[in-house]
Amino acid sequence: MRRVQVAIFGAGPAGLLLAHLLRQAGVETVVLEAKSREYLETSPHRIRAGVLEWGTKEMAKQAGVGERMLREGLEHGGIYLAFDGGLLHLDFRALAGRSIWVYGQQYLVRDMIQRHLEAGGEILFEHEVMGLENLGEAPVLVFRTPQGKEERLAAEFAVGADGSHSLARRYIPGARIHQKTYPFAWLGILAETRPAAEELIYASSERGFALYSMRSPSLSRNYLQVSPEERLEAWPEERIWEELNRRLEGVAEVRPGPILEKSLTPMRSLVVEPMQYGRFFLVGDAAHVVPPTGAKGMNLAFCDVAVLHRALLAYYRNGDTGPLTRYSQEALRHVWQAELFSYWMTTLLHTLPDPFEEELRRAKLRHLGESLPLQRFLAENYVGLHTTGRYVEG
């Protein structure tokens, strides 16, 4: 049975960044991933988050995986809020001293895979982890090879980074699962058309919430609030474009274009506590899920990696186990901060079914438009001053 220092399963943003940073520090690391490299890099179902906090962009740059991101990504200085027939611009640089970066998660994953393999790192694609053993002392990963053979990998430490439908989180004994399901979902499209504006528009209308985003100057990523029971078949292209324009009526216009991908995303929050057991740790969506309204998913994954990376280096360089024992305590601080902001944004912008709560929501939105402290709260959290901003070096 092969033995390594750190075994990671899941080649998403969290697993790849951790593996890359550990390899740079001379720690032997292997990443096991159930999907193929082609699927991770090209599948339309992988086109997910695209808003990077200022700190996430800095982490990627400092780790040496941000060259293409800096060249092809889009720097945004703020966002727009559309409500009551008007458009409010929130200037993040003025409110929080930072900007954000728009660069698709799929593209960053592609870049990290390429850089890690070029540097001699090891990623075993199409190697599905089936179970975990002996996590308290000397972790063993049981996995299936592409040929269907069952094998084992022993490690000094194991890291579960296998996403929102995680197998890993089941192996935290006595874990508490905090979760909330929202009474709406997002119908999302990726389309070849110019974005509605030069920066993101969060629109609150009587017909429901809508988000107008982008992946490039010619590629739009737009979302509509719909019922959780909605079916994609009920939304032909004409209806989608009509509804996107109705929810932005009088403020901006969305130009129809070829739709490349269509999806339905349920809205939920989830936190696993603790995020560790023995020599086993959770990072990224395996440990926590946020509704996408606050653009925190991938950014939280980078936060987790920053904490765990430093803790592992303290162990391998100095034999200090203290930071590892405190990993969950430290990570949950930024996790709950992001959960708070994501909940706040979600309940602020989505039309609510209860008439009383809906009137309160609209009052909160008007208050935000008149309150500089509330606008600063939104800006500071959106750019990540209290999440990735806490872990950026330099």
Active site residues: 76, 202, 292, 296, 382
Task: Report how far residue 118's alpha carbon sits from residue 115's, in angstroms, rounded to the nearest whole number.
Answer: 5
- The continuous run of DSSP H or E covering 45 comes out as none
Handedness of CA 69, 385, 392, 317 (dihedral sign): negative
Distances (CA, A) of 34 to 42, 163, 285: 15, 11, 16
Rg (CA), the chain: 21
Beta 150-160 vs 140-144: how paired, if at all?
A: antiparallel
Neighbours of 142 (CB within 10 A): 14
Q: How many CB atoms lie within 10 A of CB 292?
A: 21
Cα 72–73–79 angle (5° rounding)?
155
Q: What is the residue-wise DSSP string for 41-94?
A: HH-GGG----EEPHHHHHHHHHHT--HHHHHHSEEESEEEEEETTEEEEEEHHH
CA 206-211-215 angle, 5° bins: 165
Tokens of 200: 């993101």
The separation between the first and the last C-alpha atoms of the chain, rounded to the nearest angstrom, is: 41
Give the DSSP H/E element, type plus range, for residue 128.
strand 128-133
Cα–Cα dist 270/288, whole Å: 5
**Three-state secondary-structure class, residue 77:** coil
Which of helix, strand or coil describes residue 361?
helix
Neighbouring-strand partners of residue 144: 128, 150
Exposed (0-12), middle (13-18) or buried (19+): which is 33, by Cβ within 10 Å? buried
